[in-house]
Chain A
């Protein structure tokens, strides 16, 4: 490392306590937001794959009872049933329960089924959107935090400058350089968070609307069945 250049590590260590605190907060924020990014990416990928797989089996002409039983078996085998299958299962369960009693009004059956599916849908939506608010907060707040650190650092360096006999650039330059690291860190935390938030919220929206479409289709199938039967 050339000696005439200040190393970034020495700048960070030499920073004043508030600036260091700001840097620490930003580092933690960045780490957590990357954690969320990783988790979301993984989860949404799995959900997309699961939706595709479930839709193909659903439209392959399989018996709905069998599909339901299959899911129950998987649940018993300690496997997860996630996403759109939950919507299907809660709707189908409610439908079976309501049609078991003879003489129930078909409209009442449909209403109950739809309600059950709506509940499951909103639960799924919640799952899709977890952590996204955190990413949004990091994206919008961390530049401000970084800026605060920078302003504070520059304030300090100028205060030091006021008592100097001779004001040279060399006196303030390290302080300003050190302060600017905070802004850099803020941006470093914010930029991926913004990108990830936009990407993931768009993905979640798309997935949710597909779930919604599926539940409508499923409702129409059940509708046909209850009115024909």
Chain B
């Protein structure tokens, strides 16, 4: 009886264990299969490139204008010609009647005159054509000149750009150099402050130097200092450490970090200082 009771109890428990383990396994599986309910980041669509060409609108408009004007002029000319022709025809008819009445000999003369006039007209037309061709040629030449000019302009711009980028890189270089100089100045300041707070140990000798690793925060506060390379004399190292601790805060670094945080981050966030007091007499 006891056994069966226990068995039933254990049956419930083992079911519960199974349930619990299965649930956690499921959750873990979901997590590991990176199910976070978010869609995978889709790749950015490649933009459709369109080959763009420069279209000069202004000349076209002019051409259109010209065409329109030409058309109008042509229409007007036609009208005028028509009128003239009608008048001419009327006159001709009258003249013909008169001429017919008059001598026919005069006709020949008139014809001669007419041919002469025709010739002159033809000549005029030819001249006009030549003039037009010349004009066209001139326009083409102008166009070519313009194109060349544009090319030159583009080249000039590219050159200017190259020059500007070169200048800017030079600026950067100069800025780096400048910041180095700036940092140098502040390093000297730090040295001076440490020396001012330094108590000379008895064992200090000429030529001793210790390399300190100092960590600062942008307020100039010293947050960490340690001896990186000992001078060989513990008392000297300790005195240098204590001097740095005594300074506690390099006030001028605050203005540096305010003015040019980059220089501060590069040079003074964590830096090594060769501590070598030069007024060691012994």
Binding site for B on A (CB under 8 A): 1-2, 5, 7-9, 27, 30-32, 34-39, 42-43, 75-76, 78-80, 162-163, 165-166, 188
Contact = CB atoms under 8 A, between A and B. Distances in A.
18 contacts: A1-B34, A2-B40, A5-B34, A7-B32, A8-B32, A35-B16, A35-B19, A38-B17, A38-B19, A39-B13, A39-B16, A42-B15, A43-B12, A78-B4, A80-B4, A80-B5, A162-B223, A163-B270
| Nearest 4 A/B pairs, CB to CB | A38-B16, A34-B20, A78-B4, A39-B16
A165 B4 contact: no
Contacts of B40: 2
Contacts of B145: none
A166 B264 CA distance: 10
B265 interface: yes
Nearest to B33: A1
Among A27, A32, A34, A75: residue with most chain B CB under 10 A: A34
B34 A7 contact: yes
Among A1, A35, A80: residue with most chain B CB under 10 A: A35
A8 B3 CA distance: 45
A80 B4 CA distance: 8
Contacts of A8: 31-32, 34
B228 interface: no
Nearest to B270: A165
Given A7-B34, A8-B31, A35 B17 contact: yes
B30 to A, nearest CB: 10
Interface of B: 1, 3-5, 8, 12-13, 15-17, 19-21, 23-24, 27, 31-32, 34, 40-41, 215, 223, 265-266, 269-270
A38 B15 contact: yes
A68 B234 CA distance: 93
B223 A34 contact: no
Nearest to B4: A78
Contacts of A31: 20-21, 24
B24 A30 contact: yes
B24 A163 contact: no
A142 B56 CA distance: 74
Contacts of B31: 8-9
Contacts of B270: 163, 165
B201 to A, nearest CB: 30
B59 to A, nearest CB: 52
Nearest to B8: A80
Contacts of B1: 75-76, 78
A35 B32 contact: no
Nearest to B271: A165
Contacts of A75: 1
Contacts of A30: 24
A36 B17 CA distance: 8
B34 A79 contact: no
A34 B17 CA distance: 8
B41 A2 contact: yes
Contacts of B4: 78-80
B40 to A, nearest CB: 6
